[in-house]
Amino acid sequence: GALPTVDQVRALIAAAHDRYAGLSEGVVADYIPALAQADPDLFGLSLAAANGQMVTAGDVDVAFSIQSISKAFVFALLVDDLGRDAVFDAIGVNNTGMPFNSVVAVEMNNGAPMNPMVNAGAIATSGLISGIDGAAKWQRIRDGLSAFAGRALELDDEVYRSEAANNQRNAAIAHLLASYGRLAGDPEDIVDAYTRQCSLSVTANDLAIMGATLADDGINPISGERVVSGQACRDTLAVLASCGMYERSGEWLFEIGLPAKSGVSGGIVSIAPGKGAVGSYSPPLDPAGNSVRGQRACAYLSRVLGLNLFASS
């Protein structure tokens, strides 16, 4: 079925915000000062329907770094840049069952990154994006993610500099992939493009529109622009279902029944194919790195809006 009426959706988004605004579980990411300073009370929910209608509640215009949520959209771009078969061979689509920045997951898989939603696979993905060097790949990534959002996304310079100064682990992962011949270019150069991609500044509204573009077969419902192919959307949503919420992806799918992607700054994008997407922002995280309020609000909305993909009605 379709979404309920706009008035009903508005009441349910407001109710979701009310229900979970007071929830105080979770811890704000503290691996860099720029994230540690985030206000834990911020909470925004934005729904973009595939017809372009937007319904919002709370802090939906507050900017934050996109972090791991970028992985979903860069992967979609790569499916079109390289072709799905080549991407499937180079990156893989199975969950690691391990934390997002695991080195062990790479070692245990003979140097192959497993999937594009953990750091190893995302770094390999960014390396394969069209462009002769890291700078050209970064430009393609920024332009592509901006097309998903329907506006020119800016780099959060403070987050970028702080990430770049604390990037030893991602550099190690990139060098490890390179040692197995699994990285298409210079490791430092590619990690820089990946770090910039994670530092792009977005809002909950942007996430909703970006997600709705995946829900709408690659056409941005606001700008009307075709951003990626329908095939790239289907492939991306399949990978999000199995890997988008890190090692909690199975629990998320069991509970919520939607492809989604989270990031350590507290954003989540949840996609209802053909219907639209919810972008949420709330910085406190659970131990896997997923926003606590965002997860609860999405579970509620999936239920009351009838979004679960496995429900027959």
Residues that bind ligand GLN (CB under 6 A): 67-68, 100-101, 119, 163, 170, 198, 263-264, 289
In the bound state with ligand GLN, the residue whose beta carbon lies nearer, of 44 and 121, is: 121
Classify 224 as helix, strand or coil. Answer: coil
The residue at minimum Cβ distance from ligand GLN is 68
Smallest gap from residue 2 Cβ to ligand GLN (A): 32
Whether 110 has a binding-site annotation, put simply, is no
Backbone torsions φ then ψ of 270, nearest 5 degrees = -120, 130
CB of 29 to ligand GLN, least distance (A): 8
> Do 277 and 222 form a contact (C-beta atoms < 8 A)?
no
119 is in an annotated binding site: yes
Answer for the pair 2, 50: CB distance below 8 angstroms, yes or no: no
Looking at the Cβ atoms of 56 and 65, the one nearer to ligand GLN is 65
Q: Which is nearer to ligand GLN, 12 or 264 (CB)?
A: 264
Beta bridge partners of 226: 219
Contact assessment for residue 212 and residue 140, using Cβ atoms and an 8 Å cutoff: no
Q: Which two tokens stand for residue 10?
A: 């508005």
Neighbours of 305 (CB within 10 A): 20
Closest separation between CB of residue 84 and ligand GLN, Å? 24
Q: Which is nearer to ligand GLN, 131 or 244 (CB)?
A: 244
Minimum CB separation of residue 159 from ligand GLN in Å reads 9
* Residue 19 beta carbon to ligand GLN: minimum distance, rounded to whole angstroms: 25
From the list 299, 297, 260, 311, the residue with the least C-alpha distance to 18 is 297
State the Cα–Cα distance between residues 18 and 313, nearest whole angstrom: 26
Annotated binding-site members for substrate: 68, 119, 163, 170, 194, 246, 264
Q: Which residues are annotated as a binding site?
A: 68, 119, 163, 170, 194, 246, 264
